[in-house]
Each structure stands twice: as C-alpha cells, then as structure tokens.
Amino acid sequence: MSESHIRNRYDFLYFFDAKNSNPNGDPDAKNHPRIDMETSEGLVTDVCIKRKIRNFVSMTRSSDDFYKIFIEQRKPLNQKISEACLANDFEDFHNEKNTWDTQKSKKRSQSDIQILQNWLCRHYFDIRAFGAVMSTGPNAGQIRGPVQLSFARTIDPVTIAEHGITRVTDVDKEEGEMGRKFTVRYGLYKAQGFVNPFLAKDTDFSEADLELLWEALIRAHEFDASTSRPAGSINFRRLIIFKHNTLLGNAHAHQLFNRVIVHRDRTGEARSFDDYEITINPVAIPPGIEIIDKTELETLRYGASQADHKMTA
C-alpha cells in the first residue's frame, strides 16, 4: 500500500428527496416503497445508496483501470478474485482449466491474502471505499472499508400512492393483464455517513477517492432514471460534511449531526423541498472541525468560530 490515504475523520449528512417515484422498492412487499411500519417514514437502504455510487463510478470512470467496480450486477466475484491470483502469479492455486483448487485456497496464508487484497484495493474503487467479503472461491479474505452509510429515512411520514397499470401479453388475441405500481408522493430523506481514516490506511482510500465519493452522492441520481424513478423525480439536496483535523476526531458524530436542523415551513403534508428549511448552527462545535456544505449550486466552508450560519433550502 502507498501512503496516499486520507488522514482526517469525516462525518456527513446526505439529503435527497423523492416525488411521485419509488426510490427503493422492497422485493418482499411486491416492490412497495420501503417504509418503517411503525412510523410510516420512508426508508432507503444503505445497499441501495451504495449501488448508485457504484453505478456512477462505473459509468464515469469506465476507462480507468484503477476505478473498476468489484460488486456488479450479474457478474460473479470469484472470477475477479481469480484474476488477482493470476496477476500475482499464484499459479499453484490454479489447475490446467484455470480454476482454483478449493482445498488450497482455504489454506491460503495471510501474507498471500494481503498481496491479493492490495492488488484488489488498487484496482477496485468500491473495495477501497466499502471493503468486501472475498473469502469465497479463490479466497482473498475480508477487508473492512472506511466509508459507512446508514439507511436513509424521511424527515416526516410519507404517503404511498397505488396505481393500476396494464400491459398487453398477446397482441393477436388482444389480451392483457393488470398490474400495480407504487410511488411515494413526496419524501425528504436523510442518511448519515462516516469515513474512518484508520480503515482508509488499510485500503489506501485517498483524497481523490473521497472527492469521487462526494461527486457520486451529488450526481448519481441524475443517471439512475427508470420507469419507477423518472428523470427529475429523485434529486440531491444537501451534503453537509464535518471534517476533523485529526484521525480520532474532535467531537462525537451525533453532537455534530444535532447542529443540523430540518424545519417544516408549514403544516400539513409536505409536497416539495420548498416546504423545508435546513439550517446549520456551528456555534459550540469544538475547534478543529471544518464544515463543508455542498448544495446544488455551491459549496460553502466555515469553521466553528464563525457566527451562526443559515441557508434556506
């Protein structure tokens, strides 16, 4: 590993909204938008958010051999681990059919696993960011990534609309069938995120990787349109980053997140982002923390010594 990894702890809040769309369908509930059954607040899983990040990096860095994506849809992981073995001349773990010897792979030494992990981290962005379980097949062990995301949850309960749709199944007989489609009328989602500089050292997660992560969070929804997520129906709103000037950090994450207030401007059901106001109060935040506030239009930076800052959504 090189010494280019990040050397600061980061905590961040990620806001996006959904209108007349399904941001994350639940396959166990007929693709119904995920909700908390007790509070009716909308949910989007961390896996869903990471998928969008991976897709964005794959689309925008497809020609760069150091920004490949390890976990891709319908692409087996063992083949990619096997490529790492071949690239490092681990021929004793392959037979004449270019497959791995399962018994030998299970007994792979930690030093050899480290070699494979270094190679995989160097070539795959999502392993550097999120880590991966690579102990199957050729066996490259497991590695924890520095970037962690929570589920995204709406600020308020959401209303789910149900729509009847039809499709033709037999043109000659003019036969069709009915189906159902579910959408969230409106919801403002908030997710929490963390970047651990100690784990960044293990995967060599760099400042360039971090900037790509921010870019993906901001722009990924623009390239994720589908029939359940029409273009412009799911939009990035705010990315509020707390950058610590130390490895350990200068405050607990929840203390920083509590400085971000989301306020409803009117009563009744929220129907657009204009119904909310997001404010940040840097007063009483310990020294050594820089607040980076990324919006659709600009990036603001300010420290704890500055007066209260307010930005209207």
CB atoms within 10 A of CB 230: 13
According to the model, what pLDDT value does residue 194 have?
98
Task: Identify whether the C-beta of residue 77 lies closer than 8 Å to the C-beta of residue 69.
Answer: no
C-alpha span between 244 and 256 (Å, rounded)? 11
What whole-number percentage of the chain has pLDDT above 90?
Answer: 70
Q: Is the pLDDT of residue 132 over 80?
A: yes
According to the model, what pLDDT value does residue 16 have?
98
Q: Is the pLDDT of residue 64 over 90?
A: yes
Q: Tell me the pLDDT of the chain averaged across its residues.
A: 89
Q: Using pLDDT thresholds of 50, 70 and 90, give the confidence band for residue 93.
A: low
Cα torsion 56, 195, 302, 310 to 10°: value is 70
Query: In this predicted model, which residue has the larger pLDDT, 192 or 312?
Result: 192
According to the model, what pLDDT value does residue 170 have?
61
C-alpha span between 176 and 217 (Å, rounded)? 40
According to the model, what pLDDT value does residue 278 have?
95
Mapped onto helix, strand or coil, the DSSP state of residue 271 is coil
Task: Identify whether the C-beta of residue 7 lies closer than 8 Å to the C-beta of residue 204.
Answer: no
Question: What average pLDDT does this structure show over 291-309?
Answer: 69
* DSSP 8-state symbol, 245: S
Query: In this predicted model, which residue has the larger pLDDT, 180 or 304?
Result: 180
Q: Using pLDDT thresholds of 50, 70 and 90, give the confidence band for residue 307.
A: very low
Does the pTM of the predicted model rise above 0.85? Answer: yes
State pLDDT tens for residues 237-254: 999 999 999 999 999 999
Q: What is the domain partition of the chain in residue ranges? A: 10-310
According to the model, what pLDDT value does residue 95 have?
55
Question: What average pLDDT does this structure show over 153-166?
Answer: 91
Lowest-pLDDT range of 40-54, 90-104, 226-240: 90-104
State pLDDT tens for residues 185-237: 999 999 999 999 999 999 999 999 999 999 999 999 999 999 889 999 999 99
Q: Residue 174: which region, alpha, beta or left (left: phi > 0; alpha: psi -120 to 50)?
A: left
According to the model, what pLDDT value does residue 99 have?
72
